Chains A and B, each alone.
Chain A
Amino acid sequence: MELAAIFISAVLVQNFVLYYFLGICPFLGVSKKIDSAFSMGLAVTFVMSITAVVSWLINNLILIPFGLDYLQIVSFILVIASLVQLVEMFIRKISPPLYQALGIYLPLITTNCAIMGLALIAALNEYSFVETVIFGFSSGIGFTLAIVLIAGIREQLDLADVPEPLKGAGIALIVAGIMALAFNGFIGMLT
């Protein structure tokens, strides 16, 4: 039951993009087409799941036993940067078509604050190992959901009669704001 709550919370209620406002850069930058938005979502989910596991290991096996909590941010940066490198090499070797599809998005994830936020929030909530795994994966799903939704809306917006000064980023930000309000409505689900 606890795990289901974490899952629903990360996907809908405390969605990384629409609740914490983390990872706005790819959310606006890669949301012009559903296809690429979905690829980006998958790449983020992938990296988030792995980051959650490795950062939990480092946090609970090295940092906390030695009383080095204050090194969390630095070591998480290290974890994320190395992991993305590793994942990139791995995908390139195993599946060149997937590597092509993800393209520039993969290295871009290194500097994505949503990943960093995930590692820090998981540490802050003192999740157990299983909880962290679920949290990482479902946060990625939440990100994918948000980015695919806005990509669908933006594809429609291309055909809509948008006032000239609001075209592009302007209307996208307004849509993002309305989406965040709508997702806030899910807060009642968990209380």
Chain B
Amino acid sequence: MTEILISIITMTALGFLFSVGLVFAYKKLKVEEDPKIEQVSEALPQANCGACGYAGCRAFAEAVAKGEAEVNGCPVGGEDVTSEIANILGIEAPEVVKQLARLHCRGTHEAAKDKGPYIGISTCHAAHLIGGTKQCSFGCLHSGDCVRVCPFDALHMGEEGLPVVDEDKCTACGKCVDACPRNLFELHPVSQEIIVFCRSLDRGAASRKACKNACIACGICARACPEAIVMENNIAVITDYKKISPDKIPEIEKCPTDAIGRLHKDTNEEEKEEEKKEDEG
């Protein structure tokens, strides 16, 4: 019994001694910090995702307070956070271009032909090491590495086997861009309507054989809009989306394999058809 008492007393005394020491040390050694750092840090989303290029929200806040980082450097927070930080620092908020992650592949289960069954670790990286399961060696592997890595729950696997980006939740943090072993994700401004939905560098015939929705490098889109689209290595490349004028979009969307076009073409077209019906009516 006394042994227990002694040990309890010793530990309590030791703990007390150290805590008193630390309290005094804290008072003596306290470092005054720029109060802006704390305020900016509170305004940030605290996801610590690293999309800004700093080690975390705290490190970014320090850089902003020092003036080393741009006020709009946090892509996750977007406009709200930027204006809040600008308020704290007392400067005008620059404009933020909202970006979204876009998948550059339309190789659904139906469209892209299988090479053979894959039995093994079900991650894209593992499947990619042995060359993937599809005949197309550039397209989506369907195992959802991107879905697992998304910190904002903005990606989920669609019924057709391709990851679908939830545009409301996506913050363009870029984790999926890094996660995809085939680099199928890219960040694009929301305003960019036309996107090339293919990464296949195979020749036209081989591409078409492997996937119904592959870019076969026929060049229709490049001829429709030569100032913004060029053909490189058997694939269409958008050099400057701002140069694509809206009246060229129908021309570009004549793509025989749907490998280039608007992401939300279907809904738009339904609307158009409805409009037509209304006009007729």
Evaluate contact between B18 and A164: CB separation under 8 angstroms.
no
Of all chain B residues, the one with the shortest Cβ separation from A99 is B31
Evaluate contact between B26 and A89: CB separation under 8 angstroms.
yes
Q: How far is the CB of B9 from chain A (nearest CB, A)?
A: 10
Note all chain A residues with C-beta closer than 8 A to B18. Answer: 78-79, 82
What are the interface flags for B1-44 relative to A under an 8 Å C-beta threshold, 1 for contact and 0 otherwise? 00000110011001100110110011001110000000000000
Note all chain B residues with C-beta closer than 8 A to A164. Answer: 129
Of all chain B residues, the one with the shortest Cβ separation from A89 is B29
Note all chain B residues with C-beta closer than 8 A to A70. Answer: 7
Q: How far is the CB of B18 from chain A (nearest CB, A)?
A: 4
Note all chain B residues with C-beta closer than 8 A to A96. Answer: 31
Q: How far is the CB of A156 from chain B (nearest CB, A)?
A: 24
Evaluate contact between B10 and A71: CB separation under 8 angstroms.
yes
Of all chain B residues, the one with the shortest Cβ separation from A93 is B29
Q: How far is the CB of A89 from chain B (nearest CB, A)?
A: 4
Contact of A68 among B7, B26, B30 (CB under 8 A): B7
Of all chain B residues, the one with the shortest Cβ separation from A87 is B25
The total of chain A residues at the interface (CB under 8 A) is: 22
* Bound form: Cα–Cα A75–B274 in Å: 77
Is A5 an interface position by the 8 A CB rule? no
Evaluate contact between A74 and B31: CB separation under 8 angstroms.
no
Given contacts A82-B21, A89-B26, contact A66 B10 (CB under 8 A): yes
What are the interface flags for A69-110 relative to B under an 8 Å C-beta threshold, 1 for contact and 0 otherwise? 011001100110010011001101100100000001000000
Q: How far is the CB of A93 from chain B (nearest CB, A)?
A: 4
Q: Which of B10, B15, B31, B55 has the most CB atoms of chain A within a 10 A radius of its CB? A: B10
Note all chain B residues with C-beta closer than 8 A to A89. Answer: 25-26, 29-30
Is A58 an interface position by the 8 A CB rule? yes
Note all chain A residues with C-beta closer than 8 A to B29. Answer: 89-90, 92-93
Evaluate contact between B15 and A78: CB separation under 8 angstroms.
yes
Note all chain B residues with C-beta closer than 8 A to A71. Answer: 7, 10-11
Is A174 an interface position by the 8 A CB rule? no
Note all chain B residues with C-beta closer than 8 A to A68. Answer: 6-7, 10
Of all chain B residues, the one with the shortest Cβ separation from A91 is B29
Q: Which of A86, A90, A165 has the most CB atoms of chain B within a 10 A radius of its CB? A: A86
* Bound form: Cα–Cα A188–B22 in Å: 45
Evaluate contact between A78 and B14: CB separation under 8 angstroms.
yes
Contact of A165 among B19, B30, B129 (CB under 8 A): B129
Is A62 an interface position by the 8 A CB rule? yes
Q: How far is the CB of B226 from chain A (nearest CB, A)?
A: 40
Q: How far is the CB of B164 from chain A (nearest CB, A)?
A: 29
Evaluate contact between A86 and B25: CB separation under 8 angstroms.
yes
* Bound form: Cα–Cα A169–B97 in Å: 38
* Bound form: Cα–Cα A71–B15 in Å: 13
* Bound form: Cα–Cα A86–B10 in Å: 21
* Bound form: Cα–Cα A84–B43 in Å: 30
A-B contact pairs, 29 of them (CB 8 A): A58-B14, A62-B10, A62-B14, A66-B10, A68-B6, A68-B10, A70-B7, A71-B10, A71-B11, A74-B11, A75-B10, A75-B11, A78-B11, A79-B18, A82-B18, A85-B22, A86-B21, A86-B22, A86-B25, A89-B26, A89-B30, A90-B25, A90-B29, A92-B29, A92-B31, A93-B30, A93-B31, A96-B31, A164-B129
The 4 closest A-B pairs by CB, nearest first: A82-B18, A93-B29, A89-B29, A92-B31
Which residues from chain A sit less than 8 Å from chain B, CB to CB? Answer: 58, 62-63, 66, 68, 70-71, 74-75, 78-79, 82, 85-86, 89-90, 92-93, 96, 104, 164-165
Known: A86-B22, A89-B26, A93-B30. 5 other contacts (CB 8 A): A68-B6, A78-B14, A78-B15, A92-B29, A165-B129
